[in-house]
């Protein structure tokens, strides 16, 4: 086949089938939210129900046509998309934000129905499954796509709960189908032994049994059914690794560190979410809402610190311990934990994984990677232990009981070192704004955690004028500039605003503390909502930059900001290449810094627009919320408490992208290798 070909993927086909259930649940929840059930609207809702189920039926029957008459299948699915939009129009008129998200989803479905015609070379590079219209299904891919759409349906049911009677059975049926696809694949696959087939069948009986006994509680029912589509998505792939791979089962997984990083972070967030939903996690003995529990889990794992509920009063000891564990795991980093586990097992990592870990923790020498990671763990645990002991003594001397002081000291120390910003006081550290010892202890933990082990270890050689890598020099000097610059500016701008009412020395202590924490940690010792608008602009810039690479901090990182400043100075000076500390900076490094910053700005603008379209909050509060979430900072000027479920989901996505996105993008950029090309002619282009 030499001409263009149509890309048709079995995973997309499965997703199209599951999209029918999504349409029903979405429309049902939408009209439950935007219309009151009265005599005037009952007729409209009557037809919405029927048309939504007709739309779902069109998507359900597409596989029948697609296998034998692919063109008819495309037409039927397209009619389903048109109906899905028409039925939703009355409910979306007054909700442009939800309309934008819904229309975007439908557009992606249409692109799957009518895929673009791509050259064979491009299709191969995209690693898409190319199938003819009359070919059989790849049932593994089909079940994966269907399970992914089922998870989208479940998420919609959580965000847009509906009082409709048929929604719960529909969701249950969709999840059972996902389970059925998994069982069908495991039985059909000849390479899987009978023992493994029995294992998968037994494993699936657990959530099915839980769902059966939870039928009277829709919320518990939906939660029990979550493992079914997850198993349908990952089960066949894990089994395939067992069957087809002659190596250890984890080696193929570690061969692709970027997807591994994203999927593992998501899995940890899911586990933390389930644990926080358990009644024993709450202080009242009743489970918090599923959205709030998921929000807290993502915020803790991504070391952000934003929360829709009060951590001190909403969660009991078990829930707070879960949050602490999520902070620790998220702060250390998934790759660090994997490498430590493999070292304990006496296994050697692949070269690609070694390179990924070296990049993530900002170490240049791969040969010393194991020793470097030992230093990472030693520095982290030692710093947290020392900080916990100091804070325990300080909290105890401030009037806390011994047990309360110990727990608060440990929690605050880990949260500060990991730059998470969670506190066991409802007002963060405002109650200790007159206690400089607590403020400076927390500040030191934040600074060391924000530097990262590699940069922190380079401070002594830099002071003694020994050789220090350029990345460490840039990170250290940029951190010093941001710390002292932020201290001076915050003190000058807030002396008679948020710092008013304090003594002169306390104003200086709190100005320093806010300069330290506003870049990444998220603690606050003053009322952030009382700050001047000019100070908020300063905070936006500092939060966007964040901490150092290889640390627990977020943002675009100090080295990225330094590289951009170096490039700007080189352009102003008329030089072709930037230099720093008598070292030339490669163009490729500047390109990566520019790419990371540009992508970050675009994502920030997209998230800001989404909040503006869906939430009734001021533009300034929405922008501050987005930058704080993306930078994994955790500060807020009151917008978090005003978010509805849609806004919470948007901020959750921002927190996850802010923590995982830069790491994944860094891995992808670092993994690219120039294939070499002929020298092209160059031409100057006017700028500005």
Residue appearing with tokens 């929360």? 307
d(CA 127, CA 181): 23
User: Looking at the predicted structure, is the pLDDT value of residue 93 above 70?
Assistant: yes
Using DSSP bridges, classify how beta strands 117-118 and 583-584 pair: parallel, antiparallel or unpaired.
unpaired
Residues in the chain: 688
Q: Does residue 562 sit within a domain?
A: yes
Residue 321's SS3 state is helix
Give domain status of residue 156, yes or no: yes
Which residue range forms the structural domain that includes residue 240? 5-244
381 in the same domain as 233: no
- Which carries the bigger pLDDT value, residue 55 or residue 145? 55
What is residue 2's predicted lDDT score, i.e. its pLDDT? Answer: 46
pLDDT band per the 50, 70, 90 thresholds, residue 166: very low
In a domain, 612, yes or no: yes
| Angle at 553 (CA atoms; ends 548, 558), nearest 5 degrees | 30
Tokens for 41? 């609207």
**What integer pLDDT is reported at residue 242 of this predicted model?**
43
Whether 684 is in a domain gets the answer no
- Res. 363: pLDDT tops 60: no
What does the alpha-carbon distance between residue 300 and residue 421 come to, in Å, rounded to a whole number? 9
Contact 640, 306 (CB under 8 A): yes
0.75 surpassed by pTM = no
Question: What integer best gives the mean pLDDT of the chain?
Answer: 75
User: Of 393-397, 613-617, 680-684, which has the strongest mean pLDDT?
Assistant: 393-397
Q: DSSP per residue over 360-413, as a string? A: HTT-S-GGGHHHHHHHHHHHHHHHHHHHHHHHHHHHHHTT--HHHHHHHHHHHH
Residue 163 pLDDT exceeds 60 = no
Answer whether residue 250 is part of any domain.
no
The reported pLDDT for the residue numbered 486 is 93
Q: What is the pLDDT of residues 177-212, one digit of tens each?
A: 555 555 555 555 545 555 555 655 555 555 555 555
Same structural domain for residues 317 and 198? no
The whole-number pLDDT of residue 348 equals 52
Count the domains in the chain.
2
Q: Tell me, yes or no, whether 138 and 216 share the same domain.
A: yes
Give, in order, the Cα–Cα distances in Å from 347 to each of 232, 344, 350, 369, 371. 30, 8, 10, 14, 15
What value does the mean pLDDT take over residues 125-147?
52
Where a domain ends, among 180, 212, 244?
244
284 is a domain residue: no
How much is the pLDDT for 235? 52
Please check whether residues 305 and 222 belong to one and the same domain.
no
Residues 237 and 304 in one domain: no
Structural domain contains residue 323: yes
Note whether 302 and 226 are same-domain residues.
no
Least confident of 17-21, 215-219, 317-321, 462-466: 215-219
- Looking at the structure, do residues 220 and 317 belong to the same domain, yes or no? no
Answer with the residue of higher pLDDT: 404 or 141: 404
The verdict on 238 and 307 lying in the same domain is: no
Whether residues 300 and 240 fall in one domain:
no
Rank 41-50, 192-201, 302-311, 664-673 by mean pLDDT and report only the highest: 302-311
Of 208, 226, 244, the residue at which a domain comes to its end is: 244
Instruction: Based on the fold, state whether residues 105 and 192 are members of the same structural domain.
Output: yes
Is residue 544 predicted with pLDDT exceeding 60?
A: yes
More confident residue, 402 or 553: 402
**Residue 682 belongs to some domain of the structure:** no
For 262, the 3-state DSSP assignment is helix
Calculate the dihedral angle through the C-alpha atoms of 41, 42, 44, 45, rounding to the nearest 10 degrees. Answer: 110
User: What does the alpha-carbon distance between residue 657 and residue 600 come to, in Å, rounded to a whole number?
Assistant: 10
Domain match, 408 and 475 both: yes
Q: Name the band, by pLDDT with cuts 50, 70 and 90, for residue 111.
A: confident
Q: What is the pLDDT of residues 203-233, one digit of tens each?
A: 555 555 555 555 555 555 555 555 555 555 5
Q: Do 238 and 303 sit in the same domain of this protein? A: no
């Amino acid at each position: 086949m030499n001409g263009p070909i149509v890309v048709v993927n079995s995973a997309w086909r499965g997703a199209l089938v599951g999209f029918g259930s999504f349409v029903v649940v979405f429309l049902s929840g939408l009209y439950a939210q935007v219309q009151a059930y009265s005599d005037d609207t009952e007729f409209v809702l009557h037809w919405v129900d029927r048309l939504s189920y007709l739309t779902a039926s069109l998507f359900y029957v597409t596989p029948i046509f697609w296998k034998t008459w692919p063109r008819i299948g495309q037409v039927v699915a397209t009619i389903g998309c048109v109906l899905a939009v028409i039925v939703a129009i009355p409910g979306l008129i007054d909700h442009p934000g939800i309309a934008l998200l819904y229309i975007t989803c439908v557009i992606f479905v249409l692109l799957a129905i009518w895929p673009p015609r791509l050259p064979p070379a491009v299709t191969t590079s995209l690693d898409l499954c190319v199938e003819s219209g009359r070919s059989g299904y790849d049932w593994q891919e089909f079940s994966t796509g269907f399970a992914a759409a089922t998870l989208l349906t479940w998420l919609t049911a959580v965000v847009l709960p509906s009082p409709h009677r048929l929604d719960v059975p529909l969701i249950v049926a969709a999840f059972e189908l996902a389970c059925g696809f998994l069982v069908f694949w495991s039985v059909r696959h000849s390479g899987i032994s009978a023992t493994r087939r029995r294992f998968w069948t037994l494993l699936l009986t657990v959530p099915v049994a839980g769902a059966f006994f939870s039928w009277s509680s829709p919320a518990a029912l939906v939660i029990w059914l979550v493992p079914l589509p997850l198993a349908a998505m990952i089960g066949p792939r894990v089994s395939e690794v067992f069957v087809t791979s002659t190596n250890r089962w984890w080696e193929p997984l570690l061969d692709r560190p970027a997807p591994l990083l994203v999927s593992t972070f998501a899995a940890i967030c899911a586990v933390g979410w389930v644990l926080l939903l358990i009644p024993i996690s709450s202080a009242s003995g009743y489970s918090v809402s599923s959205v709030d529990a998921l929000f807290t889990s993502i915020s803790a794992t991504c070391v952000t610190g934003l929360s829709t509920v009060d951590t001190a009063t909403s969660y009991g000891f078990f829930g707070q311990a879960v949050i602490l564990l999520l902070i620790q795991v998220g702060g250390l980093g998934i790759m660090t934990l994997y490498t430590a586990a493999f070292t304990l097992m006496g296994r050697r990592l692949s070269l690609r994984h070694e390179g990924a870990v070296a990049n993530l923790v900002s170490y240049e020498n791969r040969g010393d990677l194991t020793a470097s990671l030992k230093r990472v763990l030693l520095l982290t645990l030692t710093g947290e232990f020392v900080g916990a002991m100091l804070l325990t003594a300080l909290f105890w001397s401030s009037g806390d009981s011994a047990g309360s002081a110990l727990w608060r000291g440990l929690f605050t120390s880990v949260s500060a070192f990991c730059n998470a910003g969670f506190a066991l006081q409802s007002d963060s550290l405002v109650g200790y704004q007159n206690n400089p010892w607590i403020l400076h202890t927390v500040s030191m933990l934040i600074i060391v955690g924000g530097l990262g082990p590699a940069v922190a270890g380079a401070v002594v050689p830099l002071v003694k004028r020994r050789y220090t890598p350029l990345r460490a020099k840039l990170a250290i000097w940029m951190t010093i500039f941001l710390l002292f610059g932020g201290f001076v500016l915050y003190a000058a701008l807030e002396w008679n605003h948020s710092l008013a009412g304090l003594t002169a020395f306390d104003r200086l202590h709190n100005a320093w503390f806010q300069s330290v924490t506003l870049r990444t940690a998220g603690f606050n010792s003053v009322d952030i909502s009382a700050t001047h608008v000019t100070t908020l602009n300063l905070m936006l810039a500092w939060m966007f930059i964040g901490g150092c690479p290889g640390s627990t901090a977020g943002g675009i990182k100090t080295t990225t900001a330094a590289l951009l400043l170096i490039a700007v100075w080189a352009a102003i000076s008329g030089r072709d290449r930037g230099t720093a500390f008598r070292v030339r900076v490669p163009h490729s490094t500047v390109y990566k810094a520019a790419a990371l910053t540009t992508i970050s700005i675009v994502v920030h603008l997209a998230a800001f627009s989404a909040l503006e379209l869906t939430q009734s909050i001021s533009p300034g509060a929405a922008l501050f919320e987005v930058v704080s979430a993306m930078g994994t900072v955790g500060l807020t000027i009151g917008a978090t408490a005003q978010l509805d479920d849609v806004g919470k989901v948007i901020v959750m996505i921002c927190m996850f992208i802010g923590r995982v996105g830069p790491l994944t993008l860094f891995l992808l950029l670092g993994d690219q290798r120039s294939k070499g090309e002929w020298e092209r002619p160059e031409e100057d282009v006017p700028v500005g």
